[in-house]
Each structure stands twice: as C-alpha cells, then as structure tokens.
Structure 1
C-alpha cells in the first residue's frame, strides 16, 4: 500500500514542483542584469518553454488522463508562483526598489492561470501521444521544436529592434537548437522505422528457412 501511494504521489510532487520552480525562475532572473540572467529570463518567459514543460509532463505520465491533469495543474501553479513572487518581491536588480506594490495582481493571475490550465490538458495529451515509437509519434514529438521555431522567428521579426543584443542572440540560439532537435527527431524516427522493418524481415526470413509459419 505504501509503495502504491508513493508511485502516485511522487510524479505529482515532482511535476507540480517543477512547475512552481519555472514560475519562480522568471521573476528571479529579472532581478539581475547580467547576460546569463537576461538569457535565462528570455527562455523562461517564452511560451514555448511552458509548452515544453507541459509536453514533458504528459510524455512521462502513465495515462492520458494523468497527463492532462498534471500538465494543467503544473502550468496553473507555475502562473500563480510567478505572479505571487513577482508582485510581492520588494527588490529588483542591484538591490534597488522595484516599484512592487506588495499586492498580487489577481486579475492577471486569474486570467493567465485559467489560460494555462486550459492549455495544459491538450499539450499534456499530445506529449503522452509522443510516446508512440518510430514514425507514428513523430508529428507529436515535433510540436515543441516547431513552436519554439515559430515563436522565436516571430519575435526576431517583430521585437528584435530595440532589444539588447543578448536577447536577439538568445532567440537565434533557441531557434537553431530547436531546428537541430527537429532534424534529429526526424532522422531518429526514420532510422527506427527502417531498423524495425529490417528486424521484421530478418525474423520472417529466419522462420521461413526453419520451416516455421510466420502466423
């Protein structure tokens, strides 16, 4: 009974804990102005990073129902953690006053929390479907890289002007890595498919030679 409880509680605790950490990491990295923190803030503030989190939660879940629930709860908790820490945090970079009012922006937190909860379920289910091996799950596994490529391309087109150089560099690096990951996923799926076909053909040939019916 104890082992059964742990197998259920552990994934819940880990997934929701990571969601809270992602939510906290955004406003924390805003407090420092060095290039590393700026880059981290760009990554953690982009929508694709939150999609990636929900997708991976769904990928690791044992069922579609659990994937949907954990992804939704994790994203919602991340949004709550983000707004609570950001609005109540009294300092900004270099220890200066941030202008925080000490009051949580409940309207924004509620709006984004509901949106995150609604988005989490379908993304989590798509992540769970990505478990399908070979070419069958390839389209699902490509979702996060394509979202990252699309979002960063839009940002570079519409928002790059006037931004610090490190922001544009970060977007370009994200887009390059996402493209490389997408290419690797495609090549791996093709290799797995061909390997599976060769293995199946070799097994059928072996059975035919030994006089064993493939049925």
Structure 2
C-alpha cells in the first residue's frame, strides 16, 4: 500500500503539471514555429524517475520511521527521528536558492517557514532525547 500511495501521488503531481502546460514543446515541423505538442517522453520519463525514487526513498523512510519508534538504542532512535527534518532542511534550502527568486514572495516565505519548523523539530526531538536520557540515568 505504501508504494502504491507514493506512485499515485507522483502521477497526480506530474499530471497537474502537465495540465498547467509544463510539458508543451515546440513543434519543429511547423515552419511558423507557433504550434506546440505534448512532450510525452519528458512527461513519462519524469514519472518513471520519481517512481524509482519513491520506491527507494519510501522504503528507507519507512525503515527509519519504524526504528524511530521501536529502536532500543537511543542513538539509533534519535538518528531515525531526525531523518525527515534533515531532508526538509536540505530540500527547502535547495528550493530557496534555486526557485524562490523566480516565484512570489509568499513562496519564499513558505519555504523559509517550513525550514524554520524543521529546525525547531530537530531541537525539540534532540531536547526530548536528552531529557529522557537524563531521567534514565538517575
């Protein structure tokens, strides 16, 4: 069920982008250069690529989530709990450096707010781990 959900999400995302005109390519057979066609190869290759990523990363995130809840080793549990916030920080940093300048200010503010929440989540999870470790020691 997990991969099916991710696959449907990828398909919905790229179908939405296609409906917004992201996969229109110029028709070079038209001498006027005014006509376009749907770039099926680009569309399908992006879906296939992200399905592969979903299969691999979805499984890794699932394993990390399992160990974040059940690991007996506190260091392993904390590491697994930090996976998602760290990925969010990396993703938002990349998007802020590449995409935010081309978008509305609201987009940059949204990515910045998301990154701030991920940083706060890391601090909260780390603090909770320290408090739990301190309580078990005494």
Same fold (TM over 0.5): yes
User: Which is strand-richer, 1 or 2?
Assistant: 2
Offset from partner CA, 1:167-213 (integer Å, 9 cap, x none): 11111101111110000000001111111222xxxxxxxxxxxxxxx
Q: Distance in 2 between matches of 1:179 and 1:110?
A: 32
TM superposition outliers: structure 1 runs of 4+ over 6 Å: none
Structure 1 residue runs without a partner (length 5+): 1-11, 13-69, 91-98, 199-215
TM-superposed deviation, 1:86: 4.9
Partner SS state of residue 181, structure 1: helix
C-alpha change, 1:155 and 1:108, in structure 2 (3 Å) is: closer
When Rg is computed on C-alpha atoms for both structures, the one with the higher figure is: 1
1:135, 1:193 within 8 Å by CA — same for their partners in 2? no
Alpha-carbon deviation of 1:112?
Answer: 1.9
Is 2:102 the counterpart of 1:162? yes
Whether 2:128 is the aligned partner of 1:188: answer yes
| 1:148 aligned to which of 88, 91, 97 | 88
Distance in 2, Cα, partners of 1:100 & 1:125: 42
Q: State whether structure 2 residue 8 is matched by structure 1 residue 77.
A: yes
TM-score between both structures, scaled by the size of structure 1: 0.47
List gaps (5 residues or longer) in structure 2: 21-35
Superposed counterparts of 1:1-215, under 5 Å: 12=1, 70=2, 72-84=3-15, 86-87=17-18, 105-131=43-69, 132=71, 134-198=74-138
Task: State how far apart, in whole Å, the 2-side matches of 1:86 and 1:157 are.
Answer: 21
Distance in 2 (CA, whole Å) between partners of 1:163 and 1:85 is 18
Q: Aligned partners of 1:189 and 1:177: how far apart in 2?
A: 18
Distance in 1 between residues matched to 2:95 and 2:57, nearest whole Å:
21
CA pair 160-83 structure 1, distance change in 2 beyond 3 A:
closer
1-structure distance, mates of 2:90, 2:14? 26
Would the aligned equivalents of 2:67 and 2:76 in 1 still touch at CA under 8 Å? no
Figure out how many residues of one structure are paired with residues of the other and give that number: 120
Shift in Å at residue 155 of structure 1? 2.4
